[in-house]
Structure 1
Amino acid sequence: MASVTPPGLAYEVDHDLAGRRFTARVRGHVAVLEYQLKRRRMVITHTEVPEAIGGRGIAAELTRVALRWARESKYKVVPACAYAEAFFDRHEEFHDLLAG
């Protein structure tokens, strides 16, 4: 499992490649972005942040870290959950990753 501490944040984002998920632990709560890998595509299937730690940009940071990993690993991305779809709508800098 690899960890990344995004600049300016007080938590790490962990990547569990075998479990196909990115997680962030904040104040005893776990936020998660889950995905599947299919034919050089990363399908983001679920993003969840517990209400107790919501509103801090944690889902956005999980998504950014996941998309950077997808880019480095040469995967195209399918945003199959509502949050991931909305994230792509707001962040043009990741549109090159969208699967056709």
Structure 2
Amino acid sequence: MTEVKQNEKTLDLFYEGQKAGFMEYERKEGVFVITHTEVSEEFGGKGLGKELVKAAVESAKKYDLKIVSYCPYAKKMIEKTPEFKDILAE
């Protein structure tokens, strides 16, 4: 149903084959920096933003990085999800 493709600066989210959203990020020394998360309006209400955040957390863990989020949505989602909380940089 959903698929996330990781590129050098974005995570692109596809829902039923259509691009539904993306997350912009940078990888710096020791951190995965989330700068922007966006889901197209027509795909709203399906929990797809959380899918992008989950993909970011998995990528950060894969490379043993902490997350710094300048995106308010992603930061809030990480803070309120118990299994994600430990990944945020202090």
| Cα contact 2:66–2:87 (8 A) shared by 1 | yes
Give the counterpart of 1:42 among 26, 32, 47. 32
Local SS of the residue matching 1:56: coil
Give the counterpart of 2:11 among 3, 22, 26. 22
Match of 1:69 in 2: 59
Find the aligned partners of 2:34 and 2:52 in 1 and give their Cα distance.
11
Cα deviation, residue 25, structure 1:
2.2
Deviations 1:49-73 (A, max 9, x none): 0101111011101110110110111
Local SS of the residue matching 1:12: strand
Specify which structure has the bigger relative contact order, considering alpha-carbon pairs within 8 angstroms and separated by 6 or more residues: 2
Local SS of the residue matching 2:2: coil
- Please tell me the residue identity of whatever aligns with 2:71: C
Root mean square deviation, CA, Å = 1.3
Cα deviation, residue 37, structure 1:
1.4
- TM-score, with normalisation over the residues of structure 1? 0.81
| Cα contact 1:29–1:53 (8 A) shared by 2 | no
Residue identity over aligned pairs, in percent, reads 34
Give the counterpart of 2:4 among 13, 27, 47. 13
- Please tell me the residue identity of whatever aligns with 1:79: S
- TM-score, with normalisation over the residues of structure 2? 0.89
- Please tell me the residue identity of whatever aligns with 2:66: K
Match of 1:7 in 2: none
| Cα contact 2:12–2:19 (8 A) shared by 1 | no
